Structure 1
């Protein structure tokens, strides 16, 4: 009788383990594509502003193809100079629109102190486009 109870308990444990340990097929891997930096071709925005006032600068850039879209601004360094660069996101699928068109992204700048600031965007591997702004 004792052996029957032990076997019954083992069978129940085995069945419950089998039923609850099935793999979850609902976990899907999401392919977010790839990112690559693009070069800025033009920066437009105000030359002056006030303390704690948010200023908007329109940055024009060209991606490698028309499927690339603006992702974010990241830091860039050329020699000892620091600035910003445009990061573009490309889908993982094959892009059939190979001819790139200029795109625009808005960079927001806000300063808590007065002064003159240089906002730099990477234009090439050796230079930045510099937008000077004076904050009163």
Structure 2
């Protein structure tokens, strides 16, 4: 019989991935919103929902994402939620806001999964 031994960081990453998958599942089942879960080379887990809507999980399992800019606010705002259900409810609202905007504007102004990947790749690259 083989026993797998995971490090503390691997266990934390696995827990984050499970929470991220729970969020993606709630988005799909309750809000009909597809989302992809990605583990970055750094071990961080992100949930890609839509152009300009990427959710990150911190070390405590809190979900963080950028709220789209609105007419009353000229720049994006970071926000968070503790549970997957609350995060899914709020993300669904932001998803609706983004879906109403022209896609070229989102690509030009948005915070894309590619940006997250590039940030982590640059941070992990030797100087």
TM superposition score category, shorter chain reference: under 0.3
Greater relative contact order: 1 or 2 (C-alpha under 8 angstroms, separation 6 or more)?
Answer: 1
Higher helix share: 2
Report the TM-score, using the length of structure 1 for normalisation: 0.22
Higher strand share: 1
